[in-house]
Amino acid sequence: MNRGSLSLYSYTLLPIGSPIGRKSSRISCTNLGYIILCFLASALSCNDLLTEILIRLPVKSVLCLKSVSKNWLWLLTHKDFTNRYDKYNLSESAGLFGSNLYISYNGGGRRTLYSRMLKFCVDRHGIRIAQSCNGLLLCCSDHCNNDRGVRKYYVFNPTTKQFAVIPSVLGGDEARKSIWFMGLAYHPRNCVHYKLVCIRILEPRAEYLFQIQIYSSETRMWKISVESFSANRPFSCRGGVYWNGAIYWAPSKRNQMYFKLDVEQLQTLPSTEELMMAEQHEYCEVYLGESRGHLHLTVYRTCPNYSSSLNVYEMLSDHSGWFVKYQIQLDGIASALPKFMDKRWHGYVFGVIDVVRGEEEEEGAFVVLMGNRQIVIYNVHDNSFNSRMYRTTNCSTNFHRHIESLTSF
């Protein structure tokens, strides 16, 4: 038990107005709530025990309790509490943020409120989500491809509404314009702090020279991590995923690397046979994502015809390769939803948008697929699925996982 740091607030927790603080004789012994209070407050480390109780509450209740009094607000937003809370509550995926819609995994979906969510800070270009990482969202200014120098980055917690504006990378305006990739690295188990990894192109572009910078929320500063490295081709950095202390990118011919943060090195990621074969064709959809401590990959060749099954690969814990974890049968979906996988229909691209593991090994895992204006949630254990219609103006939309987390920064 981490008594050392928690004792910081052990003396201030006593609620204001409590008879314990004052020598009051007006004690109502029949009031059971008061009895709880007495017992909880009677020992030095009582707040460790109160923490034990409060971390077992759902997020909704904890947020509500913040309004009880200033002391409780202080306790419940203290880093020691929020980190302990996030560590205790395993990351449950609540749903997905799309660019104009929200897909809920628990029923319901608050589309109208979601559009307000991204107005947490005033940005004249609007704000969009770039990456989701264990409860935190990396966001950036939208609609400024013409002038990347003005693009701002934010780290935002949609549950607590806290956000931080990230200072500019080192190198001023030129550096900001040459940002190739920005990724967020955060896991409550490792640290209360988060890091950002930025890859930028060094001039001249023709030589494919890149630089890596790292930002730490602890120091609030950027530093140059890898002064420069060269790549044979434009280094494809689609869809960064933070897993196991490193940032991964969907493996492709143009990028077979991942960046390990502790040693600040780029290392090689093994590919799958299917992926290597698929890349010889013109186009394939690749999904890379993390769920409950596992890294998943799916490959789907979009032409000429759909294949009847889809493999979900999982990375071996020693990084030596991938193995097929689940196999999805697409025939059932194709017959139930005839146009689902037809990519010629309004240009909607069929693909996997999320792979979610269950709490137990043998149950609860599902894969979310998107097709012709429909979302299919596919249960990998019994091959059943249900589908929902979604109206979206954007046909190829990026999805980011919504995880409830109390982390404060």
Partner 1 sequence: MTSSKTIVLRSSDGATFEVDEAVALHSLMIKHRIETGGADSTTIDVPEVTGNTLSKVIEYCKKHVEAPNSDDLKSFDTDFVKVDQAVLCHLAKASYYMNIKGLLDLSSKTIADMFKGKTVEQIRETFHIKNDFTPEEEEELRKENSWNLFV
Binding site for partner 1 (CB under 8 A): 15-19, 31-37, 39-40, 43, 46, 48-49, 52-54, 56-61, 63-70, 72-73, 94-95, 102, 104, 110, 113, 116-117, 158-159, 161, 402, 404
- Which is closer to partner 1, CB of 69 or CB of 267? 69
In whole angstroms, the minimum distance from the beta carbon of 87 to partner 1 comes to 15
The residue among 119 and 220 lying less far from partner 1, judged by its C-beta, is 119
**For residue 344, what are the contacts with CB-CB under 8 A and spacing of at least 6?**
none
Angle at 385 between CA 242 and CA 92, to 5 degrees: 35
Tokens matching residue 251: 């493996």
CA 110 to chain centre: 19
* Helices 32-41/46-54 angle, 10° precision: 120
Our CB check for partner 1 shows the closer of 21 and 270 to be: 21
Provide the token pair at 227: 């002064």
Instruction: Please report how close the Cβ of residue 95 comes to partner 1 at its closest, in angstroms.
Output: 7
Hey, what long-range contacts does 373-381 have (CB within 8 A, 24 or more apart)? Answer: 373/346, 373/348, 374/337, 374/340, 375/103, 376/333, 376/337, 376/340, 377/105, 378/328, 378/333, 380/312, 380/326, 380/328
- Distance between CA atoms of residues 11 and 9, nearest Å: 5
Q: How far is the CB of 5 from partner 1 (least distance, A)?
A: 17
- What would the two tokens of residue 285 be? 């959809």
Q: Toward partner 1, which CB reaches closer, 49 or 263?
A: 49
Closest CA to 15 of 62, 61, 65, 60: 65
Task: State the nearest-atom distance from the C-beta of 370 to partner 1, in Å.
Answer: 20
CA distance linking residue 402 with residue 114, whole number of Å = 11
CB of 114 to partner 1, least distance (A): 8
Closer residue to partner 1 in complex, CB, 158/183: 158
Helix (H), strand (E) at residue 37: helix 32-41
Going through 161-208 in order, the beta strands assigned E by DSSP cover 163-165, 179-185, 195-201
Tokens (6 digits) for 386: 């249900």
Q: Hey, how many other C-beta atoms are within 10 angstroms of the C-beta on 241?
A: 21
- If the CB atoms of residues 27 and 303 are measured against partner 1, the closer one turns out to be 27
Q: In angstroms, what is the minimal distance from the CB of 119 to partner 1?
A: 11
Nearest to partner 1 of 34, 345 (CB atom) = 34
Closer Cβ to partner 1, 34 or 229, answer by number:
34
Kindly state the smallest distance separating residue 380's Cβ from partner 1, in Å. 25
- Distance, CA of 306 to chain centre: 30
**Residue that has been written with the tokens 């979302």 in this structure:** 375
- Reported as type and span, the H/E element at residue 77 is helix 70-77
CB of 35 to partner 1, least distance (A): 5
User: Tokens 């494809």 appear where?
Assistant: 236
Between 105 and 385, whose beta carbon lies closer to partner 1? 105
Name the minimum Å distance from CB 311 to partner 1: 32
Task: Provide the minimum distance between the beta carbon of 99 and partner 1 in the complex, in angstroms, as a whole number.
Answer: 17
CB of 185 vs partner 1, minimal distance in Å = 24
Q: Which is nearer to partner 1, 60 or 388 (CB)?
A: 60
| Residue 271 vs 408, nearer CB to partner 1 | 408
| Residue whose pair of structure tokens reads 């009880």 in the numeric block | 68
Structure-token pair, residue 2? 């981490």
Provide the token pair at 122.
């005033």
Q: What is the DSSP letter of 391?
A: -
